[in-house]
Structure 1
Amino acid sequence: MAEQHWAKTEERGSYWGILFVLRAYQYGGHWLMRLVLAPVITYFFLTGKASRRASCQFLKRVHEFAGGKSPFTQPPGWRKSWYHFWQFGLHALEKIDAWVGKSPKYAVRNCGDTQFSELEKRPEGGLLIGSHLGNLEVARAMAGKKYSRRLNVLVFTQHAQSFNKALKAVNPKADIDLIQVTDIDMGLAIMLKERIDNGEYVVIVGDRTSVTAPRQSVTHEFLGQPAPFALGPWILASVLECPVYFLFCLKNPEDGNYDLYLNFACEQLKLPRKRRQEALQPVLKQYAEQLEQLAIRYPYQWFNFFDFWHKDSQ
């Protein structure tokens, strides 16, 4: 059976449904939500054949690629995969913490070559390219509490507007702008360019191919196998003519605190149309290798539950 593109997985939700979950968590906290979470995660693990297969595939590739540095003492099986699902659920709770403005109980440790305080000193904004590895919401919440620069988050889901509305109802002071995106066009680029010129930052993920044009991708090695990466974030970076950074925020399994990796990529990404893919290779290599290294160190925080190496044909 042919694998589906990640975006074809149906999403269900509405303003009232999202608001109910946020309110329940706001007043019930982790204790109540964990009671609900355990059977829900187990249900999705048992019934989600494609997601379960993708989880096992990823964990096994990490183990094989890392060799003697593998985070696993033996080839991971279904128990490791269930734990992978469970960690996704726990991270979802901490994302809600960040969304509703609850004070975090953990510290954030800077592990990259750049700090948010340095971004605060620059006159212009920039583009932060992250991934579905780790918890970008914690990084956003931390930056929002300490720094004045606004973060505009591009999301490729159908419920961004409903979520924005529900989040404002729960936390009117939430300083986050989720921008629903189906395609990166010139209108969007112009709007984002204006915000960056005003000193704001744009956050986009670079590890999933396009929702509307999955074949618009570039192939690069990841964990020993060629994988498709989206072209859109990199083309956007070149159009915006702004500084580009990589952003990853991952929970340290040893002490429960967060490791923040904010790394400078380039002052301006130039992609000539006639040699776009060739010109992209150095910065894409830098991104893919960092993603690879962090995936090996924090394997349970990889939240792409689909065949990452599958090349879309539609």
Structure 2
Amino acid sequence: MKHWANMEERGVIWGMQLLLKVYLLFGRRVLQVFLYPVVSYYWLINGKARAASIDYLRRVSAFWPAGTIRTERYGSYLHFIAFANAIIDKLAAWSGAISLNDVEYHGRDAIVSHLEHGQGVLILGSHLGNMEVCRVIAKLRKNLTVNVLVHTKHAEKFNALLNRYAESGRMNLVQVTEMNAATAMLLQDKIEAGELVVIAADRIPVTGQGRVAKARFLGATALFPQGPYILASLLKCPVYTLFCLKRLDKQIIYFDHFSDGLNLPRKQRDERVQHYAQSYADRLQHYCQLEPLQWFNFYDFWQDGND
């Protein structure tokens, strides 16, 4: 089975630049004219992504039988269309079209309090909803920098594209194919400078090397990365989860307290990491229930769960 990182879109820099220009010149409706045919074509030709989408929707439907989630092909198509709309929202966030007034926050005061005291915060994100709204988070406080850890090798080019339209605050993409001592030191400096560090906690590491933990998710066992919790133990800072969902055409950001600081004693390390991974999986599961079509993982998430 291919690793998810090998399935990521290629050559997206120029494509995103083009889409962004179309969005800025003509607006959302015109951009949708471009996106929907492309997404429909992609849905038709990409059988693996379509199958993964159907599998996920079946699991959600079985886990919450009282829901009205569409499964099979039509449900999968709606899943892909939701992704197309999320792309437009990404462009809106990049261009500054989404302001603080367009976002509803839950749990923001706790984050602001840490920042006002010069305390940086580690935030566990996901591929549920729209992480690009983190650009709006940068406006929570003047000169705040939000550092998002990514696996793309084009991080510097994305940085230039994103920050070209920044009005206040910055979102900095930090390329981390693997976590090493130098990266940990860099992030420690950012935390000590009172910045936010965001890391996705629902994707296994690119380098593998067994750095994963098993957790129950939607009724079956799946693999989650150990990295976010090991990083949190090194940074010794408050940890929160972040989920940004679009509900009734409004971006809603949920900040939930995860820990005041993670401790991983050597003898209990695996047990503690397992506990934290399960706690995170439970939260991801809860928010997936709110907007199931907004979890954008188009690959077999349970492929190595051995369930």
TM (norm. structure 1) is: 0.90
* C-alpha separation in 1, matches of 2:229 and 2:11: 30
Q: CA deviation at 1:169?
A: 4.1
Letter in 1 for 2:140: K
- Structure 1 residue 164 displacement after superposition: 1.4
State the secondary structure of the residue aligned to 2:27: helix
Q: Residues 99 and 174 of structure 1 are in contact (CA less than 8 Å); yes or no, is this contact kept in structure 2?
A: no
Cα drift, residue 220 of structure 1 = 0.4
Which residue identity lines up with residue 139 of structure 2 in the other structure? K
Question: Which residue in the other structure is 1:82 paired with?
Answer: 77
- 1:157 is matched with which residue: 128, 152, 177? 152
Q: Tell me the equivalent position of 1:288.
A: 281
Contact 1:19-1:167 within 8 A present in 2 as well: no
- C-alpha change, 1:169 and 1:107, in structure 2 (3 Å) is closer
Distance 1:198 1:118 in 2: 15
Structure 2 residue matching 1:52: 3-state secondary structure: helix
- Residue 107 of structure 1 and its aligned partner are, at CA, apart by 3.4
The one of 238, 242, 246 equivalent to 1:247 is 242
Q: Among residues 266, 272, 291, which one is paired with 1:279 in the alignment?
A: 272
Corresponding residue of 1:63: 61
Of the structure 1 ranges 49-58 and 99-108, higher mean CA displacement relative to structure 2 is found in 99-108
Cα separation, 2, equivalents of 1:222 and 1:185: 28
Who is 1:145 aligned against?
Answer: 139
- Residues 1:225 and 2:220 aligned together: yes
Alignment map for 1:30-109 (pairs within 5 Å): 30-68=28-66, 70-72=67-69, 76-104=71-99, 107-109=102-104
Structure 2: unaligned runs, 5 residues or longer: none
State whether residues 221 and 288 of structure 1, in contact with CA within 8 Å, keep that contact through their aligned partners in structure 2. Answer: yes
Q: SS at the partner of 1:11?
A: coil
C-alpha separation between the residues in 2 aligned to 1:276 and 1:263? Answer: 23
Deviation at 1:180, TM superposition (A): 1.2
* CA apart distance, 1:175: 1.4
Structure 2 counterpart SS, 1:26: helix
| Pair 1:219–1:103, CA change in 2 (3 A) | closer
Most deviating of 181-190 and 157-166: 157-166
Quote the Cα distance in structure 2 between the aligned partners of 1:230 and 1:304: 15
Q: In the superposition, relative to structure 1, how do residues 218 and 295 fare at CA in structure 2: closer, same or farther (>3 Å)?
A: same
Question: Shift of the alpha carbon at 1:105?
Answer: 9.6
Paired with 1:60 and 1:178, the residues of 2 have a C-alpha distance of 34
Select the structure with the greater relative contact order (CA < 8 A; seq sep ≥ 6). Answer: 1
1:52 aligned partner, one-letter code: R
Provide the residue aligned with 1:177 in structure 2. Answer: 172
- Alpha-carbon distance in 2 for matches of 1:232, 1:160: 19
Instruction: Measure, in 2, the Cα distance between the counterparts of 1:147 and 1:96.
Output: 22
Counterparts of 2:47 and 2:103, CA distance in 1: 35
Percent identity between the two aligned chains: 37
Alpha-carbon distance between aligned partners in 2 of 1:107 and 1:115, rounded to the nearest angstrom = 20
1:298 aligned to 2:291?
A: yes
1:126 aligned residue: 121
Structure 1 stretches lacking a partner, 5+ long: none
Cα pair distance change 1:105/1:279, threshold 3 Å: closer
Q: How many residues align?
A: 305
Equivalent pair of 2:214/2:274 in contact (CA under 8 Å): no
Aligned-partner residue type, residue 6 of structure 1: W
Q: Structure 2 length normalisation: TM-score?
A: 0.92
**Separation in 2, partners of 1:251, 1:303:** 13
1:266 counterpart (259, 274, 281) = 259
Cα separation, 2, equivalents of 1:168 and 1:46:
35
> What is the rounded CA distance, in whole Å, between the counterparts of 2:15 and 2:81 in structure 1?
22
Helix, strand or coil at the partner of 1:210: coil
Q: Distance in 1 between matches of 2:115 and 2:46?
A: 43
TM superposition outliers: structure 1 runs of 4+ over 6 Å: none
Q: How many angstroms apart in 1 are the aligned matches of 2:176 and 2:22?
A: 28
Question: Does 85-94 or 156-165 show the bigger shift?
Answer: 156-165
Distance 1:130 1:288 in 2: 12
